[in-house]
Chain A
Amino acid sequence: MSRVLLIEDDPAVRRGVVLGLSRNGHETEAVGTGESGLEALAAFKPDLVLLDLMLPGMSGLEVCSRIRATSRLPIVILSARTDDVDVVIGLEAGADDYVVKPASVALIEARMRAVLRRVAPSPSDTGADAGRVTVGDLDIDRSALIVRKRGAELALAPSELKLLLFLSAAPERTFSRQQLLEDIWEHSYYGDVRLVDACVMRLRAKIEEDSRHPVYVQTVRGFGYRFGPLPA
């Protein structure tokens, strides 16, 4: 069971979600503003943040960026608008996933579970996951879940780390975005592929020398993404 910090301005939604999550055994703290949410981080030490984007005062996007600046805490956006660019911006700002309101507690829990699962299922069943791999400047420690670039540890958000581990476990194999959605985010095949794109973008910003000419996470146009091969 997890400790969940809910940042949501609507009291009814706050009460409903807290009620639903608490019944399922989660320890839930709910606040109404971004400012109090940031304050509660230190005191409550949540495992995950559920974040509404439409907040009075400090916006949800701002809260998202502030949390990401200092921590790898899993963030799931609670969005009231589906096609809104805000969701994409939120994902680009570092959120790991999003849920569109109105959503049942079962769905919110499923998203939380997926994000909190520390390691994505491996694309291959070789069992060679464990151990350290060095690819170019990257040093990927699968058991410790640490990625270093030229010796310096990278602060990867949960979804970024999972994506990198998943892709690098099967180098040079192309995965479609839908497939990545199913395996890493545990969404349905028809989920929002913008999740994948936003995550790839964030990951590249952290591991690549030049995000516009990536060598680690490469785009295979029309098909999806693959890890490597590195240019000779």
Chain B
Amino acid sequence: MRLAPVHGLRPRMVVVFLLVAALSSLITAALTFHQARSSILDRTQKGAVNDLRLQVDSLVPNLPSDPTDADLRVFARQLDLASGSRGWHTAVSRAGGPLIGTASDVSGSLRAAVKSGSSTFYERVAGPGEPRLIIGMPVNHTDLGATAEKRSGLVVYAVVSLDREQADVSALITAAWAGAVPALVLAVLPALFAARRVLRPVGRLRAAAEKITRGDLDTRLDVNGSDELAALTNTFNTMAARLQHDDAELRRMEANARRFASDVSHELRTPLAAMVAVTDALDDDARTGGLPPDTADAVRLISDETRKLVVMVEDLMEISRFDAGAATLQRDEVSLHTLIHKTLQLRGWPAPDKVITELPAHDARIRIDSRRIDIVLANLIGNALKHGAAPVTVRATVGQEAVVITVADRGPGIPDQVLPHVFDRFYKADAARSRSEGSGLGLAIARENVRLHDGSLTAANLPEGGAVFTIVLPHRPAKEGEA
């Protein structure tokens, strides 16, 4: 089973803090334990060796110079009796011979070590059974009256139980545990405190970043202290300031571009007003044949293009008004039937040859800016007739909350890659498409007009082929008695 990864800074910091606390208390405990254990054992060891030496030295003189096994057994028993509180068991070996006495389990390595030298050796045996200290002590035979010591070839082995020392060491381990657990529990508190110290600025940064995301670019944070978090806060403030500056700059540039478009179209209007006033005169002369054919053609060209220019400038001005937020709604209550029929009638689109209308049987009165919706409908139906194929179907339905008008054609539909861009300004589906299609702003203006009504205008393709544009206008059916 895998442990679930820890999420969140706070639990992670607490875990790390606990790990560090546990590790340090473990190391401290281990070192302390090790030191205490060796000093306990050393003391015991030295004490035992000294005691043994004393007893051996005091008893050796009683031994005959060439003791028998029975003498040695008596010697070992005497040593056992003199063990006092240490409770050792001793045995004597002569010249590496078998052990005589109560001690057993003396390892060969210890015996070999003692045999090779003249000093005392000892080893600690942990198990099996109780822990014990085994001492091997060569007996230096001192002849009466002689000062020089002579090796007797006798070795005294003593086995000392280390039970008490083991108990002391166990008590140390218990004490270490007893200290570590509350230390770990207590470590949670500074861990939580530290986490809080770190996380509070992080939380503030996060809240500030969220505010910036929502568009409050003037969000700044107070910088406290001079740690890394303060540096981060500083960086954050710099970033926010930069963002705000860039945002303002972009807005200014966009506003300038829009104002420029608006100014240009305004400036173009006056010369166009003069030119358009005479296009009718030009057309007359070109038509009546008073001009040379070349001149007549040139005149017709100028006249036609002037009129197109007027449409383009008008559209540009209209979109500028939307951009400037200067477009206003002149709502009026009109009949849905009249609205659609008037649009068709004004543009000379006869039903049902070119346009089929499917209107609700009961006429509805809707509150709209009829001039703007007429522009939208005329644009959509005009496009459908131009790019799709007749007849175009205009369908209107009136719901509880919205009036939905769809304009569908039976043409090839809108290519998928074009569909997302149909409402873009000056978007040309086909780079080679002729300019005579219009200003390139028609659908953009249509969408703005619908948006001004808090409605939506969308484009899609019908499964059976053909494009469909859907106008959704919020509608609140007039209640009885409400004027």
Contact = CB atoms under 8 A, between A and B. Distances in A.
Contacts of B274: 10, 12-13, 15-17, 102
A101 B270 contact: yes
Interface string A1-21: 000000000101101110110
A13 B273 CA distance: 6
A59 interface: no
Interface residues of A, number: 33
A192 interface: yes
Contacts of B330: 192-194
Nearest to A176: B334
A190 B280 contact: no
B277 A13 contact: yes
B346 A101 contact: no
Contact of A102 (B272, B284, B342): B272
Nearest to B482: A222
Contacts of A83: 321, 326-328
A178 interface: yes
B233 to A, nearest CB: 48
Interface string A50-89: 0000000000000000000000000000001011000000
A108 to B, nearest CB: 8
A85 to B, nearest CB: 10
B483 A12 contact: no
B231 to A, nearest CB: 53
A58 B277 CA distance: 25
Contacts of B276: 16, 102-104
Nearest to B271: A12
B365 A102 contact: no
A136 interface: no
A80 B273 CA distance: 9
Interface in B261-295: 266, 269-281, 284
B310 interface: yes
Tell me the interface secondary structure of chain B in the complex: helix
B478 interface: yes
Nearest to B309: A102
Contacts of A82: 317
Contacts of A103: 273, 276-277
Interface residues of B, number: 37
A80 B271 CA distance: 11
Contact of A19 (B281, B478, B483): B281
A105 interface: yes
A23 B284 contact: yes
Contact of B342 (A13, A15, A190, A222): A190
B374 interface: yes
Contacts of B338: 178, 189
A219 B273 CA distance: 37
A13 B278 CA distance: 10
A12 B266 CA distance: 15
B281 A20 contact: yes
Contacts of B272: 101-102
Given A23-B284, A222-B478, A105 B321 contact: no
Nearest to A14: B274
Contacts of A105: 277-278, 280-281
The 3 tightest CB contacts between A and B, nearest first, are A16-B277, A12-B274, A16-B274
30 contacts: A10-B273, A13-B273, A16-B276, A19-B281, A23-B284, A80-B266, A80-B270, A83-B326, A83-B327, A102-B273, A102-B274, A102-B275, A102-B276, A102-B310, A103-B273, A103-B277, A104-B276, A104-B277, A104-B280, A104-B307, A176-B334, A178-B334, A178-B342, A178-B370, A190-B342, A190-B343, A190-B374, A221-B483, A222-B365, A222-B483
Interface of B: 266, 269-281, 284, 307, 310, 313, 317, 321, 326-328, 330, 332-334, 338, 342-343, 346, 365, 370-371, 374, 478, 483
